[in-house]
Amino acid sequence: MKMPKPSEDARTAFAELVPSGPAITMKPMFGNLAGFVNGNMFAGLFGEDLFVRLPDDECAAVRKDGGRDFEPMAGRAMKGYVLVPADWRAQPQAVAPLVERALEVTSRMPAKEQKKPARSKKA
């Protein structure tokens, strides 16, 4: 399966939504761009779409408002993540609270440990 790529406009709009802070980083995920707090993903792009990590009841509310399940592979939804309505770039003031809430929820999770670099095999 080929992963969708975001446009520069989507990348810029996403970068403007992600707050800055010492525990917040942005890095590639799914061939796109995602925001992490303490090593845990809280929001990101999937092609032109924006997804956020929220509690189940809040994901349901986003779906009710036009969002949908986040399925990086068709038929395999990622639990705890939801795609916001497709017009998110036209209404950044409406999605900014969702990104901030995702950051708040995810920041309460235990920090992920740094992976140790893989050892190279000796011949």
Residue 89 is assigned to a structural domain of this protein: yes
Please state the rounded mean pLDDT for residues 88-114.
93
Domain of residue 86 covers 8-107
In a domain, residue 13? The reply is yes
Distance CA 69, CA 83 (A): 6
pLDDT in the model for residue 70: 94
- Whether 113 is in a domain gets the answer no
- The percent of residues in the chain predicted with pLDDT above 70, rounded, is 93
**What would the mean pLDDT of 99-122 be, rounded to a whole number?**
83
The residue-averaged pLDDT of 16-43 equals: 93
CATH of the domain at 90: 3.30.1460.30
Q: Give the separation between CA 112 and CA 121, rounded to whole angstroms.
A: 26
Q: Residue 45: inside a domain, yes or no?
A: yes
pLDDT, mean of residues 74-93: 92
The answer to whether position 121 is within a domain reads: no
Question: How many distinct structural domains can be found in the chain?
Answer: 1
Residue 30 has a pLDDT of 80
Q: What is the mean pLDDT of the chain?
A: 91
Residue 115 forms part of a structural domain: no
Residue 112 placed within a domain:
no
- Of all helices (H) and strands (E), which one includes residue 9? helix 8-17
Residue 123 resides in a domain: no
- CA–CA separation, 74 and 1 (whole Å): 9
What is the mean pLDDT of the segment spanning 50-56? 97
Model confidence band, residue 96 (pLDDT cutoffs 50, 70, 90): very high
Query: pTM for this one?
Result: 0.88
pLDDT at 13 over 90: yes
Structure-model confidence comparison of residues 3 and 120, the more confident one: 3
